[in-house]
A and B are shown apart, each in its own frame.
Chain A
Amino acid sequence: MTRMAATRDGYGQALLDLAGNPKVVVLEADLGKSTKSLHFRKAHPERTVSCGIGEQNMLLVGAGLASAGYIPFASTFAIFTERAFEQMRNGVARPNLPVHLCGSHGGTHTGTDGSSAQSIEDLAVFRTLPNVVVMHPCDDVSTRALTMQLPALGKPSYMRTARNKTPVLYDGREAEIQIGKGVVLEEGTDVAIIACGVLVSEALKAADQLKQEGVSACVVDMHTLKPLDGALIDRLVEQCGALVTAEDHNIIGGLGGAVAEHLVSNTFAPLERVGVPDRFGESGQADEMLELMQISAPHIAKAAQRALTRK
């Protein structure tokens, strides 16, 4: 039986694991129970700063701490990080201060809270900021591994985590996770599916379906959207000649956008993008949302077939 877990739990565990570094501090905006920074708070209250329900202040408190050599980890819901976008832009990214922002509950997969809580644009907006590394891992193991690498990064980052549980793919494979390097989870020769976050496991299901249809699909976990692993994309173009991206994010500006930007300036291959079709969500269960948005495994498989016809 596949173990199920939420990426936000991997984030919470990583903060605890990082506590041995005395420079690590945690900033909360009244959602520590949800983003999972609460474990750090319980163990290290002296290094946890409650900013109340005030995300704009939180980001800049982090910047001030970082300017004095601390390594702040600030978290809230992905949607509320957007409220502090300009603070992230002018106060964190511009002076290149290593504040690590985590937006949990990203995407329509967030579910029944409805459209106000389902950020579908966070990856796009943070990807536009110079100096900022943008990540969206797919399981708790890789989330923990990526978070553990952040203190050595020396620059700011944004990481989206998800509220709900998804299959764990990296048990015992932590060593394969490296910021900026995509991971080939399944080799294939006809089409490459590049996915991130909760859609990585959907991409694997799609590859199974494609196999039944006689198509050999390669599946890549592109957990880092910026810097994008262009060398891997080049290899996939050569190997498969057709690409699909899959993300629980607006089809504009996220992983699909990033891969498209890379393709047009390098070796070209047909690309089909699976993503939220430029619309807001609504209340529903996580799996129902993936269906409603047409981003679940069958839709990824269909997109792969479309990409193949364009070869």
Chain B
Amino acid sequence: MSTSIEEIEEIARKCRVEIVKMVYRAQAGHPGGSLSEIDLLAALYATRMRVRPDEPKWNDRDRFILSKGHASPGMYAILAEMGFISHEDLKSYRVLGGVCQGHVDMKWCPGVDFSAGSLGMGLSFGMGCALAARLDNSDRRSFVMIGDGEMQEGSVWEAAMAAAHHELGNLKVILDRNRIQNDDFCEEQMRMFDIPAKWKAFGWNVKEIDGHNMQEVMEGLDFLEAEENCNGPSILIAHTIKGGGISYMENNPSFHGAAPNEEQYNQAMIELGEVKA
């Protein structure tokens, strides 16, 4: 764990550039949720995930399940940074025959452990992976990233109840609490009230952080890995900004699932330090 905070932040910055490029090239996709999750993914992959990019199916790898599978550009960007796929592969996002399918798919892309696309499914799948690790007597972990809007799916709570019942200490969830879903702000679509209390009531270990403050992100990941929190499943509630890092996308429901135009793209590259103003 020698990677410094600054180095993780630089990885995240490069990923943000790729996210915007992918969505701009495809003129489709989901930039908002990719940008909100990316600091978390950068820290997770750069400092915690026990994986082998040259052996993506290694049996004892940690699993990462992106349940909010529409935020695939974020995952593809970090997989490219880690060497699972090439930066050239990122150009195949949403292109016929490409490894970078619209939603992350385990049958298409190395390093992807779950075929996502339908919300409310990843936590259950991650629970299955965690049970398999227990049966294998393996110390591998299952990390699952869910979205906040996704918690409106009832099946999330089936899984939450079951994972606690089975005391799956190797199941670690990160909630990307970016407060916006497809049509509008979550508060307008379906209020969720006290989210930490809900998870605590379901029997989970719970911690809240600022998902863009890298120091807090690292402390949050420490919490997920801490021995005392391996008595059962744990969730890190990361407060994030939808579209975080690109001024005009931030907290803007329009950029849940829309691509920037040329002018907006150029502005994003300036804001991310790729080109000078």
Given contacts A65-B131, A67-B128, contact A57 B165 (CB under 8 A): no
Residue of A nearest to B65 (CB): A64
Could you tell me if A54 and B132 are in contact, using CB atoms closer than 8 angstroms? no
Q: Would you give the 0/1 interface string for A144-164, flagging 1 where the beta carbon is closer than 8 Å to chain B?
A: 000000000000000000000
Could you tell me if A94 and B115 are in contact, using CB atoms closer than 8 angstroms? yes
* Bound CA span A66–B135, Å: 12
Complex interface: chain A residues within 8 A of B158 (CB): 51-52, 54, 56-57
The answer, yes or no, to whether A258 is at the interface (CB within 8 Å) is no
Complex interface: chain A residues within 8 A of B159 (CB): 54, 57, 60-61
* Bound CA span A95–B113, Å: 10
Chain B: minimal CB distance from A41 (Å) = 14
Complex interface: chain A residues within 8 A of B142 (CB): 64
Residue of B nearest to A65 (CB): B128
Given contacts A61-B131, A63-B128, contact A95 B115 (CB under 8 A): yes
A61's partner among B59, B118, B128 (CB-CB below 8 A) is B128
Residue of B nearest to A70 (CB): B132
Could you tell me if A56 and B124 are in contact, using CB atoms closer than 8 angstroms? yes
Q: Would you give the 0/1 interface string for B100-133, flagging 1 where the beta carbon is closer than 8 Å to chain A?
A: 0000011100000111011011001111111111
The answer, yes or no, to whether A111 is at the interface (CB within 8 Å) is no
A90's partner among B117, B129, B132 (CB-CB below 8 A) is B117
- The size of the chain B interface, using a CB distance under 8 A, is 32
The answer, yes or no, to whether A86 is at the interface (CB within 8 Å) is yes
Chain B: minimal CB distance from A154 (Å) = 14
Could you tell me if A68 and B162 are in contact, using CB atoms closer than 8 angstroms? no
The answer, yes or no, to whether B187 is at the interface (CB within 8 Å) is no
What is the interface of chain A mostly: helix, strand, loop, or mixed? helix
Given contacts A49-B166, A64-B129, A95-B106, contact A25 B161 (CB under 8 A): no
Given contacts A52-B161, A68-B129, contact A91 B121 (CB under 8 A): yes
Residue of A nearest to B69 (CB): A90
The answer, yes or no, to whether B136 is at the interface (CB within 8 Å) is yes
The answer, yes or no, to whether B155 is at the interface (CB within 8 Å) is yes
A62's partner among B120, B128, B154, B166 (CB-CB below 8 A) is B128
Could you tell me if B124 and A57 are in contact, using CB atoms closer than 8 angstroms? yes
Please name 17 pairs of A and B residues whose Cβ atoms are closer than 8 Å in the assembled complex, sorted by A: A51-B158, A51-B162, A52-B158, A52-B161, A54-B158, A54-B161, A56-B124, A57-B162, A60-B127, A64-B129, A64-B142, A65-B128, A68-B133, A68-B136, A70-B132, A87-B124, A95-B105
Top 10 nearest A-B pairs (CB, nearest first) are: A64-B128, A60-B124, A68-B132, A54-B158, A57-B158, A61-B128, A56-B155, A64-B129, A64-B125, A95-B115
Excluding A54-B159, A61-B162, A87-B155, 14 further A-B contacts by CB distance (< 8 Å) are: A49-B166, A57-B155, A57-B162, A60-B128, A63-B124, A64-B114, A64-B142, A67-B113, A67-B129, A67-B132, A70-B135, A87-B121, A94-B115, A96-B107
Q: Which A residues form the contact surface with B (CB < 8 A)? A: 25, 46-47, 49-52, 54, 56-57, 59-70, 72, 86-87, 90-91, 94-96
